[in-house]
Amino acid sequence: MKYILWLLKAAIFFTLFAFALNNQHDATVYFFFGTHWRAPLVLVVLAAFAGGLVVGALGMLPGWWKHRSAAAQLPAAQVPPVTAAPAPAATDLPAVRQHGL
């Protein structure tokens, strides 16, 4: 399974690498007031992806902040203690049969 995941990651990497190599021509992004940005298309796509990540994270920030402050205001008595489940005894485990191969 570890090798399959490694091969999948390598395939994704080489696909993205081939995409970057095939999209090296310049693209122009026009902003307001006559300003523009000329860059390779792969950088434009990467900048748009990074901008989407930033906008998404900033959109989640108010909700996260509200939940964090609400959790901090709870008294310690209302927070249930975290306890580990007891380990099963050796007699509770099912018997495993050994088969010679």
Question: Where do the domains of the chain lie?
Answer: 25-61
What is residue 24's predicted lDDT score, i.e. its pLDDT? 81
Neighbours of 28 (CB within 10 A): 9
40 with 26: CB under 8 angstroms? Answer: yes
Q: What backbone phi and psi angles, to 5 degrees, belong to 37? A: -135, 125
What is residue 54's predicted lDDT score, i.e. its pLDDT? 96
pLDDT tens digits along 74-101: 776 566 666 776 666 666 556 666 665 5
* pLDDT grade for 71, boundaries at 50, 70 and 90: confident
Please say if the pLDDT value at position 55 is more than 90.
Answer: yes
In terms of residues, how long is the chain?
A: 101
> What integer is the mean pLDDT of 25-53?
90
| 3 state SS of 27 | strand
End-to-end CA distance of the chain: 23
Give helix then strand counts, H and E, for the chain: 2, 2
Please say if the pLDDT value at position 23 is more than 60.
Answer: yes
Four-point Cα dihedral 48, 51, 57, 61, nearest 10: -140
What is residue 58's predicted lDDT score, i.e. its pLDDT? 95
What does the alpha-carbon distance between residue 7 and residue 1 come to, in Å, rounded to a whole number?
10
What is residue 51's predicted lDDT score, i.e. its pLDDT? 94
